[in-house]
């Protein structure tokens, strides 16, 4: 039986969609465990940056049940900025309205081009 490759966060990758790759990043269910989340972010970053192509991935980030305090938001934005050369579109899913506003503000200041390519969904 054919084994499909999985990324460090546990999603099937690559998942081809509309001429590019869709890459779901499962960063949900970490609650306040920032160290565990940081380990997954680092592993995922290495995995994505080692992949072929540039600006060919549609990234979907699952943030359900992960507390997005200021330090976690900064860590997430730094991670997204590091993988920016691979991102065509970015979607953040599962953050509250308040967290969404805070993520947008940090992203607008640090990476304006990534900010404009990002969409947010609550469900």
* Tens of pLDDT, residues 94-104: 988 999 999 99
Q: What is the CATH number of the domain that holds 76?
A: 3.30.750
Q: Which band of pLDDT confidence, cut at 50, 70 and 90, is reported for residue 123? A: low
- Residues 53-75 have a mean pLDDT of 91
Indicate the number of domains in the chain.
1
pTM, 2 dp: 0.89
- Residues 12-23 have a mean pLDDT of 74
Q: Is residue 66 part of a domain?
A: yes
Environment class of 47 (CB within 10 Å of its CB; exposed 0-12, middle 13-18, buried 19+): middle
Q: Which band of pLDDT confidence, cut at 50, 70 and 90, is reported for residue 16? A: confident
Domain range enclosing 23: 15-121
Name the region of 65 (left: φ>0; alpha: ψ -120 to 50; beta: rest). Answer: left
Q: Is residue 7 part of a domain?
A: no
- Which position has the higher pLDDT, 35 or 2? 35
């Amino acid at each position: 039986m054919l084994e499909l490759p999985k990324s460090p966060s546990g999603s099937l990758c690559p998942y081809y969609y509309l001429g590019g790759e869709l890459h779901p990043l499962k960063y949900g269910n970490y609650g306040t465990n920032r160290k565990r989340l940081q380990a997954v972010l680092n592993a995922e970053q290495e995995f994505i940056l080692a992949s072929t192509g540039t600006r060919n991935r549609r990234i979907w980030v699952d943030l359900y049940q992960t507390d997005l305090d200021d330090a976690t938001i900064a860590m997430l934005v730094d991670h997204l900025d590091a993988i920016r050369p691979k991102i065509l579109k970015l979607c953040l899913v599962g953050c509250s309205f308040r967290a969404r506003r805070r993520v947008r503000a940090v992203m607008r200041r640090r990476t304006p081009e990534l900010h404009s390519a990002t969409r947010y969904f609550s469900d």
